[in-house]
Structure 1
Amino acid sequence: MTRPDAVLWDMDGTLLDSEKLWDLAVRELAAELGGEMTDGIRHALIGASGPNAMRILFNGLGLDPTPAALAEAGGFIEHRITDLFTTGVIPWRPGAQDALAMLLAADIPMALVTNTKRSLAEFGLDTLGRHHFRTSVCADEVPQGKPAPDLYHRAAELLGLSPNRCVVIEDSHTGAQAAEAADCALLVVPCEIPVPDAPGRIFRDSLIGLTSAELGGIAAAHRVR
């Protein structure tokens, strides 16, 4: 049976329906900064790493992104997300729990690869279960977050594999770009906003019914491109 050598999972919007919590936090931050969150700004923030997200927000609101202002805004977001992640239940995306269980039972290595910083990703791992993943990599642990390939390169390295032997599962255009830049096979399961089609991108409406054979086929097709 065709199997992927490894599966590299995005977290927010892919395994966890946590983008709605991030949405609440960034809208509160925009109001705190005296601006209004537009759909255009919000969509640009989806999938962005913390530092990039703050710059996108400040530029969108027409604010001066001084180091002090960015640091203060980043602190606001970290405090608010910590509160949201710890005082409620972080919901799962449809089919995500079954997909993780299926791959774990098949002994297919998995890594969590997220643009969220480590201190916040740990809350997500509390929900997801650390036993599912051989390793995890966060945006503050590599030189550049997504859309750069650094996170996926590092995850593949930690698993002892070439990136082109790995299948990435992502929900955002930013994450898809990172996977492509790293030369990983890619499955896109959009969450909050549509992701543009592009050569090599395989799409699914949800993770419900996902099989290891399907992922193996995606990996095999990528290697012969």
Structure 2
Amino acid sequence: MKLTRPHTVLWDMDGTLIDQTSGIINCYRKVIRSLGQPEPDDQSIRRSLGGPMADTMALFVAKNQLDDACRAFRHYFPEVMYEGLVILPGALELIEYFHGTGTPQAIFTNKHGDTARQVSHHCDFDRFITTCIGNTDTPWAKPDPRLTRHVLSRLNASTKGACLIGDSPTDVATATAAGIPCYTVATGAHSEVELMDAGASAAFDNLLSLKNAFA
């Protein structure tokens, strides 16, 4: 499959550019266990990721524990956030490719905004992508199209010629709501088949394959 090079690229972060699930899962398990709830298996947590942290946490703790659980997660996560973090194959290559062609790029994620920017700096993404918007930076979260429009406005761009690169049905829903294509990679918790079934414009095994499609 060959794809037309987009005018603007919006990146998801977790499962797309990086694999940070080891630290994320360990933090969820620590918080859930501390509140006396049954400890979920890794795959249950992995499959629940993609939305705001509170949405995932609500699946595993009682309603009256949710605020405390979210505060505990934000407290513990900085201690483990780089634990097992991996930059996914092709991430820097594709970012540099778009940078070299003058294509505006932004990262937008349901990860906490300050955390997302720390990770972006740690991984050297911010050398090429200066706009990184996360949860709590705005009143919105994915898949709300107001968030997508806000990020595009930060780039002085429109939906015309824009695309979203992500790894989850949440990313597909985000792109669909904004009226832009979503090119997906099966480097998160979902297969290429699942991503296409969710409505992705295209699905690839990793970012290197996606880069080849733009060549």
TM-score of the superposition, structure 2-length normalised?
0.85
1:26-41 paired onto structure 2 within 5 Å = 26-34=28-36, 35-38=38-41, 41=44
1:53-68 paired onto structure 2 within 5 Å = 53-58=56-61, 63=62, 65-66=63-64
Number of positions where the alignment pairs a residue of Structure 1 with one of Structure 2: 207
Does the 8 Å contact 1:54/1:73 carry over to 2? yes
- 2:10 aligned to 8, 11, 34, which one? 8
Q: Would you tell me which structure has more strand in proportion to its own residues?
A: 2
How much has 1:141 moved relative to structure 2? 2.0
**Runs of 4+ more than 3 Å apart:** 38-41, 209-213
Query: Partners of 1:151 and 1:133 in 2: how far apart?
Result: 18
Query: Partners of 1:187 and 1:41 in 2: how far apart?
Result: 25
Query: Partners of 2:81 and 2:47 in 1: how far apart?
Result: 22
Per the alignment, residue 50 of structure 1 pairs with: 53
- Structure 1: where are the runs of 5+ without partners? 216-225
Per the alignment, residue 107 of structure 1 pairs with: 102
1:23 and 2:18 are equivalent in the alignment: no
Query: Partners of 1:172 and 1:186 in 2: how far apart?
Result: 10
Deviation readout 1:178-216 (Å, 9 max, x if unpaired)? 12111121111123322442445310100114438628x
Per the alignment, residue 203 of structure 1 pairs with: 203
Does the 8 Å contact 2:22/2:85 carry over to 1? no
Query: Partners of 1:200 and 1:122 in 2: how far apart?
Result: 27
Does the 8 Å contact 1:138/1:151 carry over to 2? no
1:94 and 2:89 are equivalent in the alignment: yes
TM-score of the superposition, structure 1-length normalised?
0.81
How much has 1:71 moved relative to structure 2? 2.4
Per the alignment, residue 184 of structure 2 pairs with: 188
Does the 8 Å contact 1:41/1:56 carry over to 2? no
Per the alignment, residue 163 of structure 1 pairs with: 159
1:142 and 2:144 are equivalent in the alignment: no
SS of aligned partner of 2:163: strand
